[in-house]
Chain A
Amino acid sequence: MSPTLTDANQAVTDPADGLAALESRRSTAETYGIPLAVLAEVTHRCPLQCPYCSNPVELDRAGSELTTDEWKKVLSELAEIGVLQIHFSGGEPTARKDLVELVQHASDVGLYSNLITSAVLLTRERLAALGDAGLCHVQISFQGNEPVVADRVAGFKGHAKKLEVAKWTRELELPLTVNAVMHRQNLHQLSDIIQMAVDLDADRLEVANVQYYGWALKNRAALMPTLEQIEETSRIVEDAQARLKGVLAIDYVVPDYYALRPKKCMGGWGRQFFNISPAGKILPCHAAESITGLEFESVRSNHSIAWIWQNSEAFNRYRGTGWMPEPCKSCEFREVDFGGCRCQAFALTGDAGNTDPACTLSPHHDRIFKVASEEAAGDHNRFIYRNFAGGTPEPSDDGA
């Protein structure tokens, strides 16, 4: 006998939310087996206004959100069809008054639950109640390692509270992941953020460079790092990964503008991941609604979640390799990256069916890379803050 443990998942780290989609041991490529993990964006409401928010620019209003009973029904259905883990995200999931009830229901139906939070709305009592309801893991976002940068990026004075909640998380013996979204205006704090994660006794740190669609694309000129910054970042991360082995696990997401090949976004469209929007739409990724012309089915429709995953037109449109144009179609990497990100292809070329321009083989790549590197070298630092009004420009220093 020789007992072994096989890693069942092929982690696909999402840059903005820090979630990993998981794949069962047998490839889902042919069967589109039900994902092991699903992201539930229970609300788009959030007190923070981060300029790189991964939510769509068109946010779901509170009135359109699924009710408590609707979410519970969704959670039961997910467990029934074979989903194992649920990530409660948003917006700010704790903005939902019924979150403890939803986590309890997830536990009751056997789902492993993860909370992806800004932490600023939590009290110690509520966090303890979430733990008692069976919450398994807490991920807290940080925008810097100290309040001057962090609170400016978030558009909210929340850094001190985040530190406090991180401490409560460990006191309550819940595992903690620190999510750090990195860009030109906070990359200089990376070493300090790594140390902060160690000091907070986090188990994991996600260092995710901003990915540029939605709000982040609106703010690209204020966020895009230079190539030199990225090289320095990779050095710092690699050094810390070696130094902190066994102390802090560090996941790293590079910005794909500076990669040669596009990312295998979501592990491939409709292959191993879906998320559910506040209003109940089943989406191949959290940015998919930015692609106009695709109809996404809702849990409020007559269809089951499994039917939507397997049969809906939006999921099947970019599955596999049959939809691919050149240069993807004949590319030896077509099943490695599945053509990259559909949302990015749509945002930057106007057609979601194009090769992701992050790929050097895309005919759009050079033009886009040139714009990005000019923006990175520029001095446009003012943010457009994320909100329900479509964004608010940061006031300039002179109050203009």
Chain B
Amino acid sequence: MASGRNITVSETSRPKLPRHTRLKFDETRQVWVILAPERVLAPDEIAVEVLHLCDGVRSVAEMVDQLAAKYAAPREAISSDVIAMLQDLADKGFLTEARENAP
């Protein structure tokens, strides 16, 4: 099976968008879009914020900490929401994980 497919997102994941999936601000329609093969997805504001944190370096746990602090919201709720959104994206094939660096 291809690398990048069948990912299970957890707090230890360090996700990023694969090369063929682009997060872009659509100037004409004034919305953020995710461009993927045969697809255009419209992430909402918070999803966009999460996706901007997906740099392949940060772990999901770190993202959740950051968002929980910013929105003064319960950590567990944020964690499950973020993981659900990222898992949805991964299931569509539009999320990958940074390869573990060799020690």
A1 and B26 contact, CB distance less than 8 A: no
A42 within 8 A of B: no
Tell me which residues across on chain B come within 8 A of A33, comparing CB atoms.
29
A22 within 8 A of B: yes
A84 and B43 contact, CB distance less than 8 A: no
A1 and B67 contact, CB distance less than 8 A: yes
Tell me which residues across on chain A come within 8 A of B31, comparing CB atoms.
25
* Chain B residues with a Cβ closer than 8 Å to the other chain, count: 41
Which residue of the partner chain, among A4, A170, A249, contacts B2 with CB atoms under 8 Å?
A: A170
Tell me which residues across on chain B come within 8 A of A24, comparing CB atoms.
29
A5 within 8 A of B: yes
**Max chain B C-beta neighbours (<10 A), residue from A5, A7, A25, A204:** A5
Tell me which residues across on chain A come within 8 A of B49, comparing CB atoms.
3
A246 and B50 contact, CB distance less than 8 A: no
A285-328 vs B, CB cutoff 8 Å, 1 = contact: the mask equals: 00000000000000000000000000000000000000000000
Which residue of the partner chain, among B5, B22, B93, contacts A112 with CB atoms under 8 Å?
A: B22
A177 and B2 contact, CB distance less than 8 A: no
A3 and B43 contact, CB distance less than 8 A: yes
A246 and B37 contact, CB distance less than 8 A: no
B50 and A137 contact, CB distance less than 8 A: no
A199-234 vs B, CB cutoff 8 Å, 1 = contact: the mask equals: 001011000000000000000000000000000000
Residues of B30-81 contacting chain A, CB below 8 A:
31, 33-35, 37-44, 46-47, 49-50, 67, 71, 73, 78, 81
A82 and B26 contact, CB distance less than 8 A: yes
* Contact A8/B47 with A1-B81, A24-B29, A84-B26 known, Cβ cut-off 8 Å: no
B81 and A2 contact, CB distance less than 8 A: yes
In the bound complex, how far is the Cα of B67 from the Cα of A2, in angstroms? 12
Tell me which residues across on chain A come within 8 A of B2, comparing CB atoms.
170, 201, 203
Tell me which residues across on chain B come within 8 A of A37, comparing CB atoms.
40
B81 and A3 contact, CB distance less than 8 A: yes
B11 within 8 A of A: no
A20 and B38 contact, CB distance less than 8 A: yes
Which residue of the partner chain, among B71, B73, B78, B88, contacts A5 with CB atoms under 8 Å?
A: B88
B22 and A136 contact, CB distance less than 8 A: yes
**Max chain B C-beta neighbours (<10 A), residue from A2, A11, A174:** A2
Tell me which residues across on chain A come within 8 A of B93, comparing CB atoms.
175, 203, 249
A85 and B35 contact, CB distance less than 8 A: yes
A3 and B85 contact, CB distance less than 8 A: yes
A3 and B82 contact, CB distance less than 8 A: yes
A18-39 vs B, CB cutoff 8 Å, 1 = contact: the mask equals: 0110101100000001101100
Residues of B4-33 contacting chain A, CB below 8 A:
5-6, 18-20, 22, 24, 26-29, 31, 33
A147 within 8 A of B: no
A179-205 vs B, CB cutoff 8 Å, 1 = contact: the mask equals: 000000000000000000000010110
B5 and A246 contact, CB distance less than 8 A: yes
In the bound complex, how far is the Cα of B26 from the Cα of A110, in angstroms? 10
B40 and A36 contact, CB distance less than 8 A: yes
Tell me which residues across on chain B come within 8 A of A36, comparing CB atoms.
40
B91 and A204 contact, CB distance less than 8 A: no
Which residue of the partner chain, among A81, A170, A174, A177, contacts B38 with CB atoms under 8 Å?
A: A177
User: Which chain A residue lies CB-closest to B49?
Assistant: A3
Q: Other than A3-B46, A20-B39, give 17 A-B pairs with Cβ distance below 8 A.
A: A1-B46, A1-B81, A2-B81, A3-B49, A4-B44, A4-B47, A5-B47, A6-B41, A6-B43, A20-B38, A25-B31, A84-B24, A137-B38, A177-B38, A203-B2, A203-B5, A203-B93
Q: List 28 A-B contacts (CB under 8 A).
A: A1-B81, A2-B81, A3-B43, A3-B44, A3-B82, A5-B41, A5-B47, A5-B89, A8-B40, A9-B38, A11-B38, A11-B39, A19-B38, A22-B40, A36-B40, A37-B40, A85-B35, A114-B38, A136-B37, A173-B18, A173-B19, A175-B93, A201-B1, A201-B2, A246-B5, A246-B91, A247-B5, A249-B93
